[in-house]
A = this chain, B = another copy of it.
Amino acid sequence: MECQNYGLTRSVERENLNLNPLQRGGVLSAAAREALYDFGDGYSVCDYCAGRLDEIAKPSIGGFLEDLAKFINVDAVRTVHGAREGKFAIMHALCDKGDTIVVDGNAHYTTHLAAERNSLNMVEIPNNGGPEFEITPEKYREVLENAIDEKGEIKLALLTHVDGNYGNLTDAKKIGKICQDAGVPLVLNCAYSMGRLPIDAKELNVDFVVGSGHKSMAASGPIGVLGMKEEWADKLLERSSRHQKKEIEMLGCTSRGAPVATLMASLPHLVERVSKWDDEVQKARNFVEQMEEIDGVVQVGMRPTNHDLVRFETPFFHEIAQNHPRRGFFLYEELKKRKIVGIKRGQTEWFKCSAYGMTKEQVDYIADSFKDIAEKALD
């Protein structure tokens, strides 16, 4: 048989300034690039496995997991295939078909999918509407308490630490305390926070944290992090009755190659970069300020932003698109000419973007480019 041409190149997206928030936190560190080379083949981390991935000594996955547990302050940690697979595993281990869980209204779609795959019902805590779309602790408490009154038992609560639509940073510590007081274990979805900003699971009063290596931890996907308090380890990491070394919810082992090797290589880099999170937030705020100099452009979500992912309403660009010979494509094309990518083709009414990890000069260049495109369009 003859295979099609799959167009397997990514130089445009790698070599230009990529504003796609999905792509900013997963760019490999230099050390991870080296690990990728050495551990690219198949099952590369399994040369010296004696039956437990998390106990492999060469490379030291055991040592890495110890460090990772310290990094996010949890008692036990495993790598999984992604944040979604971590959420699924927690729900699967703790809940039964038909149980009800509570979930914030800004949750990622994968939270809904994980619940649906487990046949769970969801009660949602709505955000407070535009322009902030905030999940407030007060609302969380109210909905949780009502749900307990109504259903008798709520097996699990979930909170999105930073959501992917507005980049809103929730008050996990306060909501963690509310859940703790209600006796409901809380999962904090840190896909957009772990590896970008410091996470201290115990300080935040949460029972579980999940993170995403490809989204925010400078690792090659798919890989996620699943951390937990000691009291949940017996349940979530229960061993098989037949294969006594193997953990059931992990199906024995999870990450079996380059993803875990790159995450290991990047951990020292992550330790360093989360300590500079305040600079990233400042950079994002400056970027917003510059973008809002363009007529009608406004950042939505909580203000000032506390995250690099920012969402803009851009009616100005949308109006231009109506009369432009290239219609909605003009913005994408004008940006691309300036070596800026990551805003979806045809999207002009609003967009999400992130300049995480870029230099101040790059961010200024991007803001100037948007301004330049706006000005030229007026001519």
Contact = CB atoms under 8 A, between A and B. Distances in A.
Chain A residues touching B, range: 35 or more
A256 B222 contact: yes
Contacts of A28: 40-42
A243 B88 contact: no
A213 to B, nearest CB: 8
A378 B25 CA distance: 59
Contacts of A43: 22-23, 26, 214-215, 221
Contacts of A268: 3
A287 interface: no
Contacts of A221: 42-44, 255-259
B60 A4 contact: yes
Interface stretch (A61-69, A181-189, A305-313, A359-367): A61-69
B222 A116 contact: no
Interface stretch (A106-114, A133-141, A144-152, A202-210): A106-114
Contact of A1 (B34, B36, B70, B342): B70
Interface in A231-273: 240-243, 246, 248-249, 251-252, 254-259, 261-262, 264-265, 267-268, 271
A1 B67 contact: yes
Interface centre among A61, A70, A81 (most CB of B within 10 A): A81
A249 B59 CA distance: 32
A220 B40 CA distance: 6
A285 interface: no
A31 to B, nearest CB: 8
Given A42-B219, A116-B248, A6 B258 contact: no
A192 interface: no
B240 A8 contact: no
A84 interface: yes
A319 to B, nearest CB: 25
Interface in A59-103: 59-61, 63-64, 66-67, 70-71, 81-82, 84-85, 88, 92, 97
A14 to B, nearest CB: 7
A323 interface: no
A112 B82 CA distance: 23
A329 B43 CA distance: 24
Contacts of A110: 251-252
Interface string A335-379: 000000010000000000000000000000000000000000000
Contact of A4 (B67, B92, B254, B262): B67
A49 to B, nearest CB: 9
A17 to B, nearest CB: 13
Contacts of A259: 221-222, 257-259
Contacts of A44: 10, 13, 23, 26, 220-221
Contacts of A25: 42
A114 B253 CA distance: 12
B10 A42 contact: no
Given A7-B58, A8-B35, A84-B251, 6 more contacts: A1-B67, A6-B59, A43-B215, A97-B97, A109-B243, A117-B251
30 contacts: A1-B67, A1-B71, A1-B271, A3-B267, A6-B61, A6-B264, A6-B265, A7-B58, A8-B34, A8-B35, A23-B41, A23-B42, A23-B43, A25-B42, A26-B257, A27-B41, A28-B40, A28-B41, A28-B42, A32-B40, A42-B213, A42-B218, A43-B221, A81-B222, A109-B240, A109-B242, A116-B240, A221-B257, A222-B257, A258-B258
